[in-house]
Structure 1
Amino acid sequence: MGRIDNPIIGFTEENAQHLHHPHDDALVVSIQIGDYNTHRVLVDNGSSADIQYYPAFQQMRIGRERLILTNAPLIGFGGTKVYPLGSVTLLVTASNYPQQITKNVTFLVVDCSFAYNAILGRPTFNSWKAVTSTYHLMIKFPTGYGVGRYEEIK
């Protein structure tokens, strides 16, 4: 049995009860970024960066002067390069009190069109010690109050 400060994180069939199987859906959530409830955030274990798309950045009314310049390109599918406008660190909150997590996340801000407002990748999930399940369309992570969970938002 896991201790409260080191809980065992697992998934059960009950966690997937509300889903229609089989599915190959992406895990897409709404999450609080800064002071804004941000919809259409893709959970992507394959991404080595946390990304925010510029239109969402603009809607948050964060001054462009808060961007820290970076010149390292992102290499996408097929080898295409995208140069970020910069990076910005914002507070991100997932789940509900008391089993929630709130941490700073550094996003690379990119100016290109995409179906999502942001991508949460491995840097965030590793810092949260989070476990994701695409089968269950759920994220689970340890908190001081047991295991928190965040589900896909329909």
Structure 2
Amino acid sequence: MIVGGTTTAGSSKKARKTYLIMVQNIQMTGSVPKMSRINNPSIGFSEEDAQRLHHPHDNALVVTIQAGDYNMHRVFVDNDSSADILYYPAFQQMRIERERLVPTNAPLIRFGGTRVFPLGVVTLAITIGDYPQQITRNVAFLVVDCSSAYNAIIGHPTLNLWKAVTSTYHLMIKFATDYGVGELRRDQVAACDCYVAMIEMDDHLQAMNIEERWPAIEPIERLEDVPLDESQPERTTKINTLADLTVRQELTIFLKENWDVFAWSHEDMPRIDPSVMVHRLNVSPSFPPVRQKKIIFA
């Protein structure tokens, strides 16, 4: 359970008190502000929605969403959270500039009364559902620098913005769109992995990666630039410096004598047989080309 943050009631004590008075007045009088009527389809769940799930279960609702240009996995949907949270390791992996963080003084209060002060607020375009039953909304995330097995938490501010209905039994979210009811299905395996990770987590564990990246391998030896054409000094190659001086001199002479086998641009590679390197699209000419929706793989 997480309370606090940039909620509808506001972060100041006066704003929260005013919001409480407004809620009490509506409860006592029964009058509500007029809102535009929207003909939304009815949302319901059936036993078919619970197929391909292990039952019985007590798993959390963990989903995958599209955040900007990234597919973000391990997103915990928490109906008891009054804030949408993005953990700082995920923020870093998305390569978002630190300048986009908007300062905030609204603390988060976790279970047990522990206070956590966010680094700031960042707004991201979140897309859920499958085309055409999908919606895209801007979500203001509180960026928090602490350990978690999740990359982000979706709380009831965004669930209300989506007008979404969640089912912990079906591990599914349904929401209304202009083209019917959209669905955001669960990842039960990820939910189990996150539970195990949270149990075994120590204080130094960071949020799990959005996508795996190979670490950059540093060279184990220093390389030396060798100019191959004195008239064009930018045309160089590299040799290692660990070899004997005589060997390096002989290698340099050999490379300069055979400089014509090097290429620095397409113009340096004339008369290449097209069968060596040609890209063709194996499509029927009777079908016109169609640009499809971009798909981002993890």
Same fold by TM-score greater than 0.5: yes
Match of 1:121 in 2: 155
Secondary structure of the residue aligned to 1:69 is: coil
- How many Å separate the matches in 1 of 2:159 and 2:85? 13
Within 5 Å, which residues of 2 pair with 1:82-93? 82-93=116-127
Question: What is the aligned counterpart of 2:103 among 64, 69, 76?
Answer: 69
Match of 2:179 in 1: 145
- How many Å separate the matches in 1 of 2:117 and 2:160? 24
Match of 1:6 in 2: 40
- How many Å separate the matches in 1 of 2:161 and 2:65? 16
- Mark the structure with the bigger radius of gyration: 2
Dislocated runs of 4+, deviation >6 Å: none
Give the residue type in structure 2 aligned to 1:78.
Answer: G
Q: Structure 1-normalised TM-score? A: 0.96
- How many Å separate the matches in 2 of 1:134 and 1:24? 8
- How many Å separate the matches in 2 of 1:132 and 1:21? 18
- How many Å separate the matches in 2 of 1:59 and 1:135? 32
- How many Å separate the matches in 1 of 2:182 and 2:132? 8
Deviations 1:109-152 (A, max 9, x none): 00001010000010110011000011000000000000000101
Give the number of equivalent residue pairs. 151
Question: What is the aligned counterpart of 1:40 among 70, 74, 82?
Answer: 74
Secondary structure of the residue aligned to 2:130 is: coil
Secondary structure of the residue aligned to 1:77 is: coil
Give the residue type in structure 2 aligned to 1:44.
Answer: D
Secondary structure of the residue aligned to 2:158 is: helix
Give the residue type in structure 1 aligned to 2:62.
Answer: V
Task: Give 1:5 shift.
Answer: 3.8
- How many Å separate the matches in 2 of 1:72 and 1:125? 20
- Structure 2 gap ranges (5+): 1-37, 190-298
- How many Å separate the matches in 2 of 1:121 and 1:33? 15
**Identity over aligned pairs, percent:** 74
Secondary structure of the residue aligned to 1:87 is: strand
Give the residue type in structure 1 aligned to 2:98.
Answer: R
- How many Å separate the matches in 2 of 1:74 and 1:45? 15
Structure in which a larger fraction of residues adopt strand: 1
Match of 2:27 in 1: none
Question: What is the aligned counterpart of 1:22 among 56, 63, 69?
Answer: 56
Q: Structure 2-normalised TM-score? A: 0.50
- How many Å separate the matches in 2 of 1:117 and 1:77? 19
Give the residue type in structure 2 aligned to 1:65.
Answer: E
Structure in which a larger fraction of residues adopt helix: 2
Give the residue type in structure 2 aligned to 1:10.
Answer: G
Task: Say yes or no: does 1:79 pair with 2:83.
Answer: no
